[in-house]
Amino acid sequence: MLKGRSLIDPMDFTKEELEEIFELAEKIIENPKEYSHVAEGKILATLFYEPSTRTRLSFEGAMLRLGGEVLGFSEPNSTSVSKGETIADTIRIVSCYADIVAMRHPKEGAPKVASMYSKIPVINAGDGGHQHPTQTLTDLLTMKTIKGKLSNMTIGMCGDLKFGRTVHSLIKAMSRYKNNKIILISPDELKIPEYIKKEILEKNNIEYEEVKRIEDVIDKLDVLYMTRVQKERFFNEEDYIRLKDSYIIDKNKLSMAKDDMIILHPLPRVNEIAYDVDNDKRACYFKQAQYGMYVRMALMAKLMGVC
């Protein structure tokens, strides 16, 4: 039963529960009208302590399309946070005003703390360089729909694997599906954290390799998951400038890839995917962003217990 629960970590729900959410998302995509009133009278609070376009708007769009309403902030300096209010106190109050919360925060673990003091479901919309479980739901639904499966694939993850929370969450989630191989493509400075290798990949016997050049592996991939170098998490500008253009996928590189490989990206992109790739049939990142809204509709409907 998903009603009343929070989503903080991609492993909070079982595979079967995820399946339930995907099934509902598919039904909503097929017949959105049927779901346009299910959340009437419900309110989503979006508490965004960090910048966002897609995630916040897709949450808000999702709630509005379910017939519910939205309140919240995306500029914490205009709230009592700037007076020193704690997360625990903020959420205690917001719990009285809303029925469900989506929270993004620069500090790892902040949404978890919020869920401990909340009377209503809390959804982690990204916590620092840690996790981003609703992006993972988006990524899984996109792969499942376009590739028709979540197992037996070679998945390349490329770019900022150190700070990229979407990559951390996706690897966690993929560890439950059979027979996937993960190829981690990054410069030395942006390699995946050790804990992900030890506690997720190795513990679950997932085949993986770490490489530096995308050209060396692109022909093996079924999915290429590109990421942006996470400027806001660098300690100095110099390192960022040196690393920001480590990988740029363009038509030339794409010509080496399989015909049915798909390119995903959580977005925003900066330089890592050339615009001339957008028209290639393998470019699925805009479609992915669309799935993001539908999967958030399904998630919130389940957590609020209205579907």
> What's the closest the beta carbon of residue 266 comes to ligand NCD, in angstroms?
4
> What's the closest the beta carbon of residue 230 comes to ligand NCD, in angstroms?
6
> What's the closest the beta carbon of residue 76 comes to ligand NCD, in angstroms?
16
**Cβ distance 169 to 133 under 8 Å?**
yes
Q: Which two tokens stand for residue 137?
A: 């739901």
Q: Which is nearer to ligand NCD, 55 or 175 (CB)?
A: 55
Helix H segments across 31-164?
A: 54-65, 87-97, 110-117, 133-146
Determine, following the binding rule CB under 6 A, whether residue 135 of this chain makes contact with ligand NCD.
Answer: yes
Q: Which is nearer to ligand NCD, 261 or 264 (CB)?
A: 264
Q: In this structure, which amino acid lies at residue 64?
A: L
Rounded Cα distance between 17 and 136, Å, is 14
What is the residue-wise DSSP string for 164-227?
-HHHHHHHHHHTTSTT-EEEEE--GGGPPPHHHIIIIIITTT-EEEEES-GGGTGGG-SEEEE-
Q: What would the x/- binding string for ligand NCD be over residues 223 to 242, using CB under 6 A? A: -----x--------------
Residues 254-283 that bind ligand NCD (CB under 6 A): 266-267
> What's the closest the beta carbon of residue 260 comes to ligand NCD, in angstroms?
24
Determine, following the binding rule CB under 6 A, whether residue 136 of this chain makes contact with ligand NCD.
Answer: no
Cα-Cα end-to-end distance for the chain: 11
Rounded Cα distance between 212 and 90, Å, is 44
> How many other CB atoms are found less than 10 A from the CB of residue 131?
27
46's enclosing H/E stretch is strand 43-48
The closest of 3, 49, 65 to 295, measured between CA atoms, is 65
Determine, following the binding rule CB under 6 A, whether residue 55 of this chain makes contact with ligand NCD.
Answer: yes
> What's the closest the beta carbon of residue 165 comes to ligand NCD, in angstroms?
5
Residue 101, helix vs strand vs coil:
strand
Q: Which is nearer to ligand NCD, 127 or 222 (CB)?
A: 127
> What's the closest the beta carbon of residue 21 comes to ligand NCD, in angstroms?
18
Among 126, 128, 133, 156, indicate the residue that binds ligand NCD (CB under 6 A). Answer: 126
Rounded Cα distance between 174 and 181, Å, is 10
Q: Which is nearer to ligand NCD, 300 or 307 (CB)?
A: 300
Q: Which is nearer to ligand NCD, 6 or 166 (CB)?
A: 166
> What's the closest the beta carbon of residue 229 comes to ligand NCD, in angstroms?
9
Among 27, 54, 92, 176, indicate the residue that binds ligand NCD (CB under 6 A). Answer: 54
Among 42, 105, 132, 162, indicate the residue that binds ligand NCD (CB under 6 A). Answer: 132
Residues 138-197 that bind ligand NCD (CB under 6 A): 165-166
The site for ligand NCD (CB under 6 A) is made up of 54-55, 126, 132, 135, 165-166, 228, 266-267
